[in-house]
Structure 1
Amino acid sequence: MKKHIFIFLVIMTSLGLSSYRWGFYAHRRINRLAVFTIPPELMGFYKKHIVYLTENAINPDQRRYAVDNEAPRHYIDLDVYGDSALQVVPHNWFDAVEKYTEDTLQAYGIVPWHITLMKFLLTKAFEEKDLDKILRYSADIGHYIGDSNVPLHTTENYNGQMTGQYGIHGFWESRLPELYADDYDFFVGKAEYVDNVQERAWEAVTAAHLAMDSVLSFEKELSKRFPESKKYSYEERGNSTIKVYSKKYSHAYDQMLDGMVERRMRASIKMVGDIWYTCWVDAGQPDVEVLKSLEIEEKTKKQMEEEKKKWEQRTVKSREHN
């Protein structure tokens, strides 16, 4: 894993600004903390596999560079649908396809609809007591839920490239959590059953999108008060020297956001736990002792390793978030 991270840092250094993305830090932390929200009757199963769920929280991000249709599952560019997007875009997939066509939806992102699909797949995996799929879909849906709660995953201006704020994506979702997450309050209570996962996904996207203007406008305002030499600094990461947003600039931005990153991470943790639990309930609450007795098959482990080697080849061009 350290080798993979180092390779990623080298790539980011060549681009001029470091980026860990929500995936390399926050996604792992979100999935891990979601385990502790699960009610006692199911927690034993998820705790047994907490390492898997934590380590594989970034798999969908790695697949973005190897699977053609993966990238749109991580975002939705709501602003391309107009100022009233939250009111006019249908929440039901088939209604949305009828209104805009599937090609259009895929072009501008499908994260809320994909969460609904993943909920169906995870429920079915529980019904079939298929451990490999339960763990894979649990880790994956946690990732997509995390993405749905990120404001910059709801706009075409996802990295500030349209407003002269290139690099803000990694700044908001990676640099700030990396610096301040240890001080965040991640106690979100116990997971609860979700009556309508489709609407819950849209609630997440809506809350994130409503915060998007502040993410951009606050940084734009702050940058006017900091000269370039104070806005950025350099840090040693492994064997590399990485350009990052300075701690002073990061602190000022975090203060302006007034806990926004913490709130979006808390919302993600709670939502992941809620939907994991909901899938198990909707599957008829299969015996947890039976689930705990299952082990991942060796062929599945080998398949996962082969997949990850393929992902590292980065054969598909995808949105960058540095």
Structure 2
Amino acid sequence: MKKNILKIGFLFGISVFLVSWGSTGHNKISQNTSLSFPVSPSFLQIWSDSLAMNASNADYRKSTDPMEQYNHYIDIDTYPEFIANGTIPSTYDSVVSIHGQTFVTDNGILPWATLTYYDSLVMAFQAGNMHQAMLYASDVGHYVADGHMPMHLCANYDGQLTGQAGIHSRYESTMIGSYVNQITYTGSSLNYIPDVKTYIFEYIYTNQTYVDSVLA
């Protein structure tokens, strides 16, 4: 039973097809998530509209919670070990012990925020609180999507260091807004992820490699 709960918990993240974008993109992602859900349990199939409706809750919280902004990005290329080896320590306590709380927070805590909300989602399922589970599922989907947007994963997040200021919004909002009706998705097969933390860092490392393509 516990394994099934864990498996359901991360379906909302791994079924993300698009990368992370403004409210239009997040809505599109969440609306289409159910296309990858299994037939059972059946409640997943009826969550589509609710997930879409709450897809940008995490962004809205920025106006009331000053710490929320740090959940949406990680300037991973500011870590010396990432430049040297392409990875950083995966546990929050480890990076804080090496670099200090201020450095880690200022450069974003996206992978650990994703993991925290995933754990909360699992606990909501275990408690049988399906409404809260749906809200956490929306947040997990949002943070996973942010982890698939290259400009959420670098210090030059808005092209401000290369004379391309404003590229963040042009890429994730203007472009998607222009082409959203041409985006199609019919679902894909899902696989159980035994190590969620490792999975989160792997897609962050992969998507960070696309920064240069966005800036090109």
TM-score by length of 2: 0.84
Q: Any unmatched runs of 5+ in structure 2?
A: 1-19
In the TM superposition, residue 187 of structure 1 has moved relative to its aligned partner by: 3.3
Provide the C-alpha distance between the structure 2 equivalents of 1:38 and 1:86, rounded to a whole number of angstroms.
36
8 A contact 2:86–2:205 mirrored in 1: no
Provide the C-alpha distance between the structure 2 equivalents of 1:193 and 1:133, rounded to a whole number of angstroms.
23
Compared with structure 1, are the counterparts of its residues 86 and 29 closer, same or farther at alpha carbon in structure 2 (3 Å cutoff)?
Answer: farther
State, as a whole percentage, how many aligned pairs show the same letter: 29
8 A contact 2:158–2:168 mirrored in 1: yes
Are 2:67 and 1:69 equivalent residues in the alignment? yes
SS in 1 for 2:55: helix
Residue of structure 1 equivalent to 2:172? 173
Provide the C-alpha distance between the structure 1 equivalents of 2:53 and 2:76, rounded to a whole number of angstroms.
30
Compared with structure 1, are the counterparts of its residues 110 and 206 closer, same or farther at alpha carbon in structure 2 (3 Å cutoff)?
Answer: same
User: Mapping of 1:132-147 within 5 angstroms?
Assistant: 132-147=131-146
| 1:160-201 deviation digits (Å, cap 9, x = unpaired) | 122211110011111222222333342341332111111111
Provide the C-alpha distance between the structure 1 equivalents of 2:43 and 2:87, rounded to a whole number of angstroms.
41
Residue of structure 1 equivalent to 2:196? 197
Moved more, 164-173 or 144-153: 164-173
Provide the C-alpha distance between the structure 1 equivalents of 2:192 and 2:155, rounded to a whole number of angstroms.
33
User: Mapping of 1:37-186 within 5 angstroms?
Assistant: 37-42=36-41, 44-82=42-80, 84=83, 87-186=86-185
8 A contact 2:75–2:154 mirrored in 1: yes
8 A contact 1:23–1:57 mirrored in 2: no
RMSD over aligned CA atoms reads 1.8
In the TM superposition, residue 120 of structure 1 has moved relative to its aligned partner by: 0.8
How many residue pairs match? The answer is 196
8 A contact 2:50–2:134 mirrored in 1: yes
Moved more, 59-68 or 171-180: 171-180
| 1:38-81 deviation digits (Å, cap 9, x = unpaired) | 11112x21232222110110011111121011001000001211
8 A contact 1:154–1:209 mirrored in 2: yes
Provide the C-alpha distance between the structure 1 equivalents of 2:54 and 2:167, rounded to a whole number of angstroms.
25
Residue of structure 1 equivalent to 2:6? none
TM-score by length of 1: 0.58
8 A contact 1:155–1:209 mirrored in 2: yes
Provide the C-alpha distance between the structure 1 equivalents of 2:27 and 2:84, rounded to a whole number of angstroms.
31
8 A contact 2:33–2:48 mirrored in 1: no
